[in-house]
Chain A
Amino acid sequence: MAPLKASLRPAPAPPPAPIPVTLNVNGVERTLHLAPWTTLLDALRLHLDLTGTKKGCDHGQCGACTVLVDGRRINSCLTLAAMQDGRKVTTIEGLTTGDALHPLQEAFIEHDAFQCGYCTPGQICSAAGLIAEGKATTDDEIRELMSGNLCRCGAYPNIVAAIRQAMATVAPKAEGAP
């Protein structure tokens, strides 16, 4: 196929101008001025320096960027920050209370549910979402409902063990779980 002549190629659109976006991140209200093409993931990592949320594919295929928005787990690379204006975002950094780890974080350490650690924040946020959903009661259900979070190190059996343990201590949301 012959390449298009330069004159036939459409003129590129100019980069978009920033717009204000307000997010409640880990309990703190943050107003950012972001180009509307900024994903929630990049807003967290590049604009709020919350690098605990990881980029593993930027395509919604790996789950490393999982965060909780209004308590629901989502892939933060698949949504623009502007689309979450006014929402409550919880990242891995927001799961600890002072120095105290979340039961899932404790369980992940105890069960060695990670190796390189790169998928871990997404796994833990996803597991927190899973517990809130209250849908998983068996190991097979945990496996199925955690399959959106890849772990290339293959820590899956330990991830299941950690979630099973944490599930016993963290009550699912009584109501309103989507």
Chain B
Amino acid sequence: MIAIPSIPGFLTEPNGPIGKPVSRVDGRKKVTGNAHYAAEFTLPDLAHGCIVSSAIARGRITRIDTAAALALPGVIHVFTHENRPSLAWFDRKWKDDDAPKGAPFRPLYDAEIHHALQPVALVVADSFELARYAARLVHIEYEAAPHQTDLRANRANSFTPGKDKGGFQPPPKPRGDPEQAFLASPVRVDAEFTQAAEYHNPMEMHATTVLHHDDGTLTVHDKTQGVQNCHTYICNVFGLAKSAVRVMSPFVGGAFGSGLRPQHQLFMAMLAATQLKRSIRVELSRPQMFSFGHRPETIQRVALGADRDGTLRALIHEAVQESSRNENYVEIVVNWSGQQYACDNVRLDYTLSRLDVHTPLDQRAPGAATGVPALEIAMDELACKLGMDPLDLRLKNYAETDPNTGNPFSSKELRACFRHGAERFGWAKRSPAPRSMRDGRELIGWGMAAGVWDAMQGQAAAKAVLGVDGKLVVSSATADIGTGTYTVMTQIAADVLGLPIEEVTFCLGDSSLPAAPVEGGSWTVSTVGSAVKAVCDRVRSQLIALAGKLENSPLKGVAEEDMVFADSHLIVRNDRSRRLSITEVMRGSGTLSIEEEARALPYLLARARHTFATHSAVFVEVRVDEDLGTVRVARVVSAIAAGRIINPKTARSQIQGAVVWGIGMGLEEEAFTDHRLGRVMNHDYAEYHVPVNADVPEIDVLFVEEHDDMVNALGAKGVGEIGIVGVPAAIANAIHHATGVRVRDFPITLDKVLAGLR
């Protein structure tokens, strides 16, 4: 039996802010234009940098002529590999918290070109327009070398990576005899799935503004999901004292993973600021947002074998993905397939093929968003072959424990997701045969899929300062990339200390604050929220101790567990007339402020013996124009099990947004590489299609009750990724139901549907 801390009393206060649909505390700033992003800080004499990108995919620079650029009045300097200063020598100095195994890319390192759009020069000028103009005048000659950018052509030339990146375990060893069991199964599905490379494309383009202060210190406003990750990186690369630089990102205009690693605009801005001793801003253009990090193109095979009653007998899932020549980016892709369904004969394989591309980068639900849809389409195909309802097939093979490890789940309410989601959607009214539902010219299809994502937790610290006026400031160096961190942390702190939301301020996005990891993988509520709770618990204990010592205190001798905090008061649980305000306690004891710092760790013992995961069931209706092949998502129901939901308003938005990402992956997003040139051709928002308002219907989000006292002290698992995971498969399955056309190649554009209809 493992000792598990129980959900503490504060969460049972009925009127506490946890669980309330609180509007974003930073909302007013965002709707009035007063939220300031990385490119929106300035000092007098700010210089502007513009990056020149490589015109070839592989080879070397033979000549750089900067004379024409430098001849323009107002152009300050052009940085290239030929004139850069000496920087850190060893790869480990260039590593960051999200770096996979390998040698990180070094901008302006030498004449070699490793991938298309590689940054090759930085033009610095007095004005943005001038820098942009001068960048066009930098004349570069190349000697091109043959490149390989085509995963299909290189899939056979792949290797099996190891544990090459944090957060991802290599696939487990095969169990049973999957090949034999597959061949012996009476009903079989064996198919190949492909998915195009996708670019994060947050609305805010990556930018860095370095403010050079008179005392020589630097304030770096960077677009990042981890200020301390960037802080360590630039101190290592440029040999700077930690105290000489502060990295800030109070607001981040979306990221979805693009800000997990320090990107080259940060390097460029730091290079110019440290060399020129002045303030500078470097902002990428939208096409340059295709010059780093992407969800890798993937080819998968899923083979399922089942008995005629639907019992899974064999499950084989293989995936090959692209990585760069210099790093082993892994997202494993296949492991969730071994976890999601009970099956005795399983083989999961994952390989990488090196291409002449920049290193891929985690993008919303990395691995799961790619692998789970392939499995979930295969399950739908199997259901069709069996003549079984796809929902029943999933229930038939429901995994009560984690088949990959044999461990129990800390909690798993996927069954409730299926039940409530199906009920809300009206799944029971589905007519099972493909092409059996129609509305005029439109074929109607209903499809469903399940989803899964890991409920991770890292380590974080937080500081709290409670003033005698009853105002609380809590801080941690985490990020809010639109996820709602400001709001949710404010709620947790307000809940622990019984304060109104308005009396609590949460600070983040500043490298000088207590340590927090990058914001990603849905782990911030778990990681930072636990630290916020821990530090507020300490303040709470202090207040109780102070209150007990006051003369004539009505709270004398009351045990900590018999005290509740509400309305800025300390109150005896069973006698609410016995109470003191926080201000009374602090004034009475001559305490002007209470300052605490605390660090929170995962429950390691529980984590070693359980699997922690969020789950989802998603139901989609599509309408397909039979003549044109166009697909419209008409409605979506997403039922989510993610433990306690701290803020149903912001959590719902997270799920809705992730469903929109699923629509993008399912129907629209695709980076087209011209393999003759080795570069992405549709590198802007007009040609790289993301969902627009008219593509998105009402999205019905349900959170099912899920109690989990092992995941962390909050019982909350995090919701950033889970919303996308099942969506592309549910869309593909709905298209099949509507049309009878099975498309296994994302995105499902109209040409692929039409090809099947003809």
Contacts and interface: CB of A to CB of B under 8 A. Distances in A.
A92 B127 CA distance: 25
Interface stretch (B169-177, B370-378, B408-416, B690-698): B690-698
A120 B254 contact: no
B68 interface: yes
A112 B25 CA distance: 11
Interface in B240-271: 251-256
Interface in A42-79: 42, 45-46, 49-59, 61-62, 64
B693 A119 contact: no
Contacts of B31: 92, 101, 105, 108-109, 114, 117, 120-121, 124
B205 A56 contact: yes
Contacts of B67: 6
Given A50-B33, A51-B40, A151-B203, A118 B253 contact: yes
A115 B24 CA distance: 9
A15 B73 contact: yes
B272 to A, nearest CB: 18
A6 B658 CA distance: 51
A115 B484 contact: yes
A64 B129 CA distance: 20
Interface stretch (B341-349, B421-429, B648-656): B648-656
Contacts of A108: 27, 31
Given A35-B127, A61-B685, A52 B203 contact: no
Contact of B286 (A42, A59, A158, A159): A59
A45 B286 CA distance: 18
A150 B660 CA distance: 12
Contacts of B68: 9, 11-12
A112 B693 contact: no
Interface residues of B, number: 74
A108 B35 CA distance: 15
Given A6-B65, A116-B481, A149 B33 contact: no
Interface string A122-149: 0010000000000000001011101111
B28 interface: yes
Interface stretch (B133-141, B352-360, B435-443, B599-607): B133-141
Contacts of A112: 23-24, 27, 649-650, 652-653
A154 interface: yes
A115 B133 contact: no
Contacts of A9: 68, 139
Given A62-B685, A152-B690, A154-B657, A116 B32 contact: no
Given A55-B205, A118-B204, A143 B693 contact: yes
A38 interface: yes
B482 interface: yes
A54 B202 CA distance: 13
B453 interface: no
Contacts of B658: 154
A25 interface: no
A32 interface: no
A173 B720 CA distance: 40
B44 to A, nearest CB: 12
A160 interface: yes
Interface string B34-50: 11110110100000000
A157 to B, nearest CB: 5
Given A109-B24, A112-B650, A117-B253, A159 B693 contact: yes
Interface of B: 23-24, 26-37, 39-40, 42, 65, 67-68, 71-74, 127-130, 133, 137, 139, 141, 201-205, 251-256, 283, 285-286, 481-484, 649-650, 652-654, 656-661, 684-686, 690-699
20 contacts: A11-B68, A42-B129, A54-B253, A56-B685, A57-B286, A57-B684, A59-B686, A61-B286, A61-B685, A108-B27, A110-B23, A116-B482, A117-B29, A117-B30, A118-B37, A142-B693, A154-B660, A154-B696, A157-B699, A158-B656
